[in-house]
Amino acid sequence: MSLIGIALLIVVIVILLAVALFVVKNIVHLIINAVFGLITLFIVNFFHLMQYAGKPDIGYSIITVLICALGGLPGAILIIVLALIGITV
């Protein structure tokens, strides 16, 4: 193998490692955000915080959990705001 081939192989490996590191950092951020969203939904229901606004607790459904898991904290806030204005998901 020539010197240019070895250099090209090293460059490709460095690029692949950089892409892998970028993906892992973003996945960790998304997982943390999803956990915060689900914890927020749990806390709102556990302490019955919706009853202070005269509304029932937010029910756990597949759609609600998916919105909180995929949307994270903004997804949980969206579910809470929708419940406050009377739209159940």
Q: Kindly tell me if the per-residue pLDDT of 1 is higher than 90.
A: no
Neighbours of 83 (CB within 10 A): 20
Question: How far is residue 2 from each of residues 5, 9, 11, 16, 32, measured CA to CA in Å?
Answer: 5, 11, 14, 21, 45
List, for residues 39-63, the tens digit of each pLDDT value.
Answer: 999 999 999 999 999 999 999 999 9
List, for residues 11-29, the tens digit of each pLDDT value.
Answer: 999 999 999 999 888 898 8
